[in-house]
Amino acid sequence: MDVLKFSGLERSLILQAMSETSFDLLVIGGGITGAGIALDAATRGMKTALVEMQDFAGGTSSRSTKLIHGGLRYLKQGEFKQVAEVGRERAIVYENGPHVTKSEWMLLPIYQGGTLGRWSTSFGLWLYDRLAGVKRSERRKMLTVEEVLEKEPLLNKTALLGGGYYVEYRTDDARLTLEVIKEAVTQGALAVNYTKVDSFIYSKGQITGVRVTDQLSRQEYFISAKKVVNAAGPWVDLIREKDGSRGGKTIQWTKGVHLVFDQRRFPLRQAIYFDTFDGRMVFAIPRDGKTYVGTTDTIFQGDPMRPRMEKEDRVYLLGAISGTFPGLYITEEDIESSWAGIRPLIAQAGKKPSEVSRRDEIWSSPSGLLTVAGGKLTGYRKMAELVVGRIPGEWRTCQTRNLPISGGKVGGSASFLQYVEETAKASGFSSEWANQIVRQYGSNAEVIFPLARELTGEEESLPTELLAILEYSIREEMAVTPADFFVRRTGALYFRRKWVEVWKQPVADYMAKRFDWSLEEKEKHVADLNQCLQETILAVGEVP
């Protein structure tokens, strides 16, 4: 197999190469689950391909709460083994990619009559620290009322009893997914976005490949593979239907919505996990000059392709905010952005959406199709190890435990800050921009800086800083539309909306030149981005 770059400009070459290769493994789905499986398989020596029908992370993996959880929720459900495993995995995810995952102290306010008691919280967090192997510097602290209010003065003071303080890890879900796929490609896998699996090819009842359609050119391809893994998240049952093997356990969809506010309107200092009026818990997290709050958890029956906020979701979250932050008087006018995601949970009869287990399972069909059901961002590496371990053949053992993901070659998490400082300084660019680039892209900043030098003065309508990351996302991260850039490559749709408004047209003009789009194609891409912008502030059924 020739070495092909992970470039948006080489998509059709990649698809051509895929159709001419016989793979050991083909993965359906470019969310975090499929990404992890492709990386694990490629590093064990399997010839691996991955196809994604939207953009990478276009499904649930760009629509989560963006936390690498330590598994506190499992403790509540008495699943101790799970807490220990999730705790170990969290440390590995962080170590292998400190540029996309960072520790974040989380405050659990305790109120009279709330779901959390002072002693049960103290004991629960203590137990959690031990089970999850939390490092000493990150072990829980219990706080007095004064200490809680010092950390977050916006909290409701009435009936406040104190708080628990523990560490969660915050990530950028879409970038985590991309970095894992990029590493899989570095390790020899081929991966392509906007390529949909339409049907399976069989020989003697066993799957031997798939028929796919390139969603951009509408061209059809056949890809041969000895084994196919269905990592299609909310769509896994639809894939099983194509295989005629949907039976037994199934997936239940629940929707989760997050709202985003500007820090000037919701100046949250401290990440908080708080009780809601109906006994659930919701996160409020400060990030990049914004505060985001979520999530809801309701049964979903619509089209999982573009889930959106509904009026009820907005009312619920605004109600939760006003209960815990009563002095803010936040209203729907203050919402700057939002996103909604669909959880692919394994159906459990008689349980409320928030009670359904978040565990994952592997289902095998008579045709040899392996389906990954359920799962979390946090456990992606371990899940991949289990799935790939079930693929017959003489392969290396799992290699991903100590393998940095793309951008993670920074000398380990302990050296990351020093790496940022030194690399930014050596770049010769303004320290603010250079620091931001190294923090976000890790060791791949060493590709972006030369690109910025190469492109200086080339394109007058875009500043070099923006041009460098745009060109990087095209050449090295397979961005092929303005929405790929503004939503999954930079997260700007949710956290830098004004920046999107200012730059959307020049970015579309530049991409039109790079991809040779007709005027009509360019306008279609801009219209799509405009629709994304609208959908983040309007609930379903509302018109601008």
Bridge partner list, 291: 261, 286
Instruction: Count the Cβ atoms, other than its own, within 10 Å of residue 187.
Output: 20
Contact between 51 and ligand FAD (CB under 6 A)?
Answer: yes
Enumerate the H helices of 325-388 as residue ranges: 380-388
**Contact predicate 131/90, CB 8 Å:** no
Query: Measured from the CB of residue 15, what is the shortest distance to ligand FAD in angstroms?
Result: 13
Q: Of residues 223, 317, 342, 391, which one binds ligand FAD by CB under 6 A?
A: 342
CA atoms of 529 and 223, how far apart (whole Å): 31
Q: Of residues 8, 31, 71, 164, which one binds ligand FAD by CB under 6 A?
A: 31
> Could you tell me how many helices (H) and strands (E) the chain has, helices first?
18, 18
CA atoms of 353 and 255, how far apart (whole Å): 9
Contact between 58 and ligand FAD (CB under 6 A)?
Answer: yes
Query: Measured from the CB of residue 316, what is the shortest distance to ligand FAD in angstroms?
Result: 13
Q: Of residues 43, 48, 54, 101, which one binds ligand FAD by CB under 6 A?
A: 54
The Cα angle at residue 143 between residues 141 and 146, in degrees rounded to 5: 155
Query: Measured from the CB of residue 501, what is the shortest distance to ligand FAD in angstroms?
Result: 26
The residue type found at 386 is L
CA-nearest of 351, 92, 367 to 359 is 351
* DSSP H/E element including 485: none
CA atoms of 209 and 26, how far apart (whole Å): 8
Q: Which is nearer to ligand FAD, 214 or 471 (CB)?
A: 214
Q: Of residues 99, 290, 343, 475, which one binds ligand FAD by CB under 6 A?
A: 343
Query: Measured from the CB of residue 512, what is the shortest distance to ligand FAD in angstroms?
Result: 25
Contact between 82 and ligand FAD (CB under 6 A)?
Answer: no
SS (H, E, C) 392-415: CCCCCCCCCCCCCCCCCCCCCHHH
Q: Which of residues 116-175 bind ligand FAD (CB under 6 A)?
A: none
Query: Measured from the CB of residue 338, what is the shortest distance to ligand FAD in angstroms?
Result: 11
Contact between 32 and ligand FAD (CB under 6 A)?
Answer: yes
Contact between 34 and ligand FAD (CB under 6 A)?
Answer: yes
Structure tokens of 509?
A: 């003009």
| Maximum C-alpha span of the chain | 70
CA-nearest of 28, 98, 93 to 59 is 28
The Cα angle at residue 359 between residues 356 and 364, in degrees rounded to 5: 115
Binding-site residue total for ligand FAD (CB under 6 A)? 39
Query: Measured from the CB of residue 87, what is the shortest distance to ligand FAD in angstroms?
Result: 13
**Contact predicate 291/274, CB 8 Å:** no
Phi, psi of 273 (to 5 degrees): -120, 110
**Contact predicate 407/442, CB 8 Å:** yes
Q: Which of residues 62-81 bind ligand FAD (CB under 6 A)?
A: 63-67, 69
The residue type found at 316 is Y
Contact between 353 and ligand FAD (CB under 6 A)?
Answer: no
Contact between 52 and ligand FAD (CB under 6 A)?
Answer: yes
CA atoms of 266 and 322, how far apart (whole Å): 11
Q: Of residues 180, 232, 356, 434, which one binds ligand FAD by CB under 6 A?
A: 232
Q: Which stretch binds ligand FAD (CB under 6 A): 45-53, 389-397, 410-418, 438-446?
A: 45-53
Query: Measured from the CB of residue 434, what is the shortest distance to ligand FAD in angstroms?
Result: 30
Query: Measured from the CB of residue 376, what is the shortest distance to ligand FAD in angstroms?
Result: 3
Q: Of residues 375, 407, 442, 482, which one binds ligand FAD by CB under 6 A?
A: 375
Enumerate the H helices of 44-186 as residue ranges: 72-76, 80-96, 118-131, 145-151, 173-186
Interface characters, 238-267, with ligand FAD (x: CB under 6 A) = -x----------------x-----------
Q: Which is nearer to ligand FAD, 373 or 511 (CB)?
A: 373
Q: Which is nearer to ligand FAD, 221 or 235 (CB)?
A: 235
Q: Of residues 295, 371, 413, 435, which one binds ligand FAD by CB under 6 A?
A: 295
Query: Measured from the CB of residue 32, what is the shortest distance to ligand FAD in angstroms?
Result: 5
Structure tokens of 101?
A: 């995952």
CA atoms of 234 and 240, how far apart (whole Å): 12
Q: Which of residues 92-111 bind ligand FAD (CB under 6 A)?
A: none
Contact between 491 and ligand FAD (CB under 6 A)?
Answer: no
CA-nearest of 437, 435, 400, 389 to 96 is 400
Q: Which is nearer to ligand FAD, 236 or 507 (CB)?
A: 236
Q: Which of residues 263-292 bind ligand FAD (CB under 6 A)?
A: none
Contact between 193 and ligand FAD (CB under 6 A)?
Answer: no
Residues that bind ligand FAD (CB under 6 A): 28-34, 51-54, 58-61, 63-67, 69, 196-197, 231-235, 239, 256, 295, 341-344, 375-378
